[in-house]
Amino acid sequence: DIQMTQSPSSLSAFVGDRVTITCRARQDISNYLAWYQQKPGKVPELLIYAASILQSGVPSRFSGSGSGTDFTLTISDLQPEDVATYYCQKYYTAPFTFGPGTKVDIK
Amino acid sequence: QVQLVESGGGVVQPGRSLRLSCAASGFIFSNYGMHWVRQAPGKGLEWLAVTWSDESNTYYADSVKGRFTISRDNSQNKLFLQMNSLRAEDTAAYFCARDHGVAYYFDSWGHGTLVTVSS
C-alpha cells in the first residue's frame, strides 16, 4: 500500500499570509491526488482534484501543485474561514488513503 | 441537490454486528461509485470501502477486509455497510461519500452516523 504523509501537522499564521502544506506519497501516484478541507465539527469538502484542478465553488486563493510523489496545497491569502484541517488523498489505486491531516489556525 | 443521509449507528458490544445505511437523492445513484469513510473521535479520515456503480467491483481497506461488506440497492438508491466482529477501534463517525464518477475521490459527503463499540 502507498502511504501518504503531510507536513506540517499543524500551523498557525496571520490573516493574509501565504500558507503551504506538503503531501508526499511513498510511490509515484502521477497526479491522482485530491485535497479536502474539514472545518471544525463539519463534514470534509473537496477542494482540489487531479493535484491542481479547483473544485467548482472553491475560492481561487486555494491552489494545488505537484506530480509523482510531492504535492503542495497553497492558500495565498489566509482568511479566518480557512481555519480547518486539510487532508490529501491519493486515488491512484486502492486503498484510497488519506494523509494524516494538517491543522491550520489563525494567529 | 446531492443529498446523502446515513443511518444505523449506535452503541454496540464488541464482537457484535451493525448495518449502516446511506440514502441518496438528488442524482442518478446507479451512475456513481460509492464509498464509506470513517473518522475516529479526534482523528483523521480513513477510507474503508468502495462499490462500483453496478456493484461489479468492491475494494476494502485492510483494516476492515473480511469483517465489513459494502453493498448497494440501486432500485432504492441506498448504500449499505454490514459490519461484523466489531472492535473498540471501530468506534468512529461513518460517512458515505459519492465518487466523482471517473476517479476515486469524493465530491459529496453525508453528515455521518456515529458507531460506538463498547461493553
**What are residue A48's DSSP bridge partners?**
A35, A54
Which of B47, B100, B109 shows the shortest C-beta gap to A97?
A: B47
Q: Taking residues B70-92, report their average pLDDT.
A: 97
Inter-chain residue contact A98 with B59, CB threshold 8 Å: no
**Residue B101 pLDDT > 80, yes or no?**
no
Site from A49, A85, A91, A97 to mutate, B interface, most B CB atoms within 10 angstroms: A91
* A17–B contact, CB cutoff 8 A: no
- Per the CB < 8 A criterion, the answer to whether B111 and B94 are in contact is no
**Residue B110 pLDDT > 80, yes or no?**
yes
* B107–A contact, CB cutoff 8 A: yes
Inter-chain residue contact B47 with A45, CB threshold 8 Å: no
Which chain A positions have a beta carbon within 8 Å of B112's beta carbon? 43
- Per the CB < 8 A criterion, the answer to whether A98 and B47 are in contact is yes
Cα separations in angstroms, A56 against A19, A39, A52, A107, B101? 21, 18, 12, 29, 15
How many CB pairs (< 8 A) connect A and B?
57
Residue of B nearest to A54 (CA): B107
Residue predicted with more confidence, B92 or A2: B92
> B50: which residues sit within 8 A by CB, 6+ positions away?
A94, A96, B33, B34, B35, B58, B59, B70, B99, B104
Between CA B37 and CA B47 the distance in angstroms is 4
Q: What is the pLDDT of residue B103?
A: 80
User: Which residue, A40, A4, A104, A44, is CA-closest to B42?
Assistant: A40
Q: Taking residues A88-94, report their average pLDDT.
A: 93
Q: Taking residues B40-56, report their average pLDDT.
A: 95
> B25: which residues sit within 8 A by CB, 6+ positions away?
B2, B3, B77
Q: What is the pLDDT of residue B44?
A: 97
Which of B95, B104, B110 shows the shortest C-beta gap to A91?
A: B104
**Residue A1 pLDDT > 90, yes or no?**
no
Mean pLDDT (chain B) is: 96
pLDDT in tens, A15-68: 999 999 999 999 999 999 999 999 999 999 999 999 999 999 999 999 999 999
Grid coordinates belonging to A102: 494538517
- Per the CB < 8 A criterion, the answer to whether A78 and A20 are in contact is no
**Residue B46 pLDDT > 80, yes or no?**
yes
Mean pLDDT (chain A) is: 97
Between CA A53 and CA A72 the distance in angstroms is 12
Which chain A positions have a beta carbon within 8 Å of B100's beta carbon? 49
Q: What is the pLDDT of residue A24?
A: 98
Q: What is the pLDDT of residue B102?
A: 73
> B117: which residues sit within 8 A by CB, 6+ positions away?
B11, B12, B13, B14, B86, B87, B88, B89, B90, B91
- Per the CB < 8 A criterion, the answer to whether A102 and A12 are in contact is no
**Residue B55 pLDDT > 90, yes or no?**
no
Q: What is the pLDDT of residue B105?
A: 94
